[in-house]
Amino acid sequence: MRFFFRSRQFKVILSVLIALIAVSVIFSLIGSQISPQANIVGMLTAPFRSAVNGIYNGIEDFISAYKDGNKLMLENAELESEVNDLREQLADYQEIQAENEFYKKYLKIAENHPDFKFTAATLISRDNDDPYQSFVINKGSLNGVSAYDPVITDAGLVGFISQVGLTTAKVTTVLSPELSIGALDSRTNDSGVVSGDLEIAKNGKTKFYNLARSCSVAIGDYVATSGEGIFPKGLLIGKIETIGTDKYNTSIYATVTPFANIEELRQVMVITEFDGQGSVLGKVGG
């Protein structure tokens, strides 16, 4: 709108308006000073006065519409601001609700494992070049996080802390061959080792191997940590999807789909302490 007032068209209109006003004023003054018999002057000036009044009215309507438009714009801006505030409040509410649900789920784990101490963490970046889907969390040594600490969700084991900074840490997942876990079939108690394999990691699975040929594992069985290695006993790892025979020896192996959906992770828990952790880490370090 401000560009219109600076335009040539507006200047022309303004000049015409000023001229008409001037003519109207002059004729009005003349008309007021001559005798009533000179009404001819009033007749002559009437069209000019009518035109001026029309222009006045038009300008008043224009200015009124302009003011109303500005008022409406301000009201719309205020409403938009209120809507944005409500959206932010809703987002905050949903985030708080999600966090509450997140912590509620861990209460059951804490009840079943009173020796566990947790640190909640949020995923802040992923290594897109890593086929095993490693990622970085927003907690580090300043938060009590240490190398080899287990990382879980309420669904099951995610991996372990492989690198630690002051305020961040890297998590290596159960899909990686860097991770090697003593594991058990929770139904049959058959033991083996869970570790990653490049080929099946592409499909989001890991490998349960070194199973005795006489084992009774079956598709659909759950696999959990045995307590051997850097992880406490009883952490769920995943479900057996397929069973095969290792071509290099006589053992059985199974592919396992982790219960923790690593691709969609947003929040995790780091187990910073558990009974027997010191002795386990001593074995790993030795």
- Reported as a single tens digit per residue, the pLDDT across 3-39 is 555 666 556 566 666 666 665 655 555 555 545 444 5
The whole-angstrom separation of Cα 181 and Cα 159 is: 10
Residue 246 has φ and ψ, to the nearest 5°, of -70, 125
pLDDT at res. 30: 55
pLDDT band at 228 (very low <50, low <70, confident <90, very high): confident
The pLDDT confidence band at residue 282, using thresholds 50, 70 and 90, is: very low
Beta bridge partners of 238: 223, 258
Q: How confident is the model at residue 251 (pLDDT cuts 50, 70, 90)?
A: confident
Q: What is the predicted pLDDT for the residue at 94?
A: 52
d(CA 174, CA 181): 9
116-to-34, 111, 119, 232 alpha-carbon distances in Å = 108, 9, 10, 9
Greater pLDDT, 61 or 118: 118
Region 134-138: what's the mean pLDDT? 96
Q: Please tell me the predicted confidence (pLDDT) of residue 54.
A: 63
Per-residue confidence (pLDDT) for residue 286, from 0 to 100: 42
pTM to 2 decimal places = 0.63
pLDDT for residue 73: 72
pLDDT of residue 46: 58
Q: Is 284's pLDDT higher than 50?
A: no
**Calpha distance 63→66 (Å, rounded):** 5
Question: What DSSP string runs through 172-219?
Answer: EETTSTT-EEEEEETTT--EEEEE--HHHHTTT-EEEEEE-TT----T
> What band does 100 get if pLDDT is binned at 50, 70 and 90?
low
Q: Which residue has the higher pLDDT, 52 or 151?
A: 151
Q: State the Rg of the chain over Cα.
A: 40
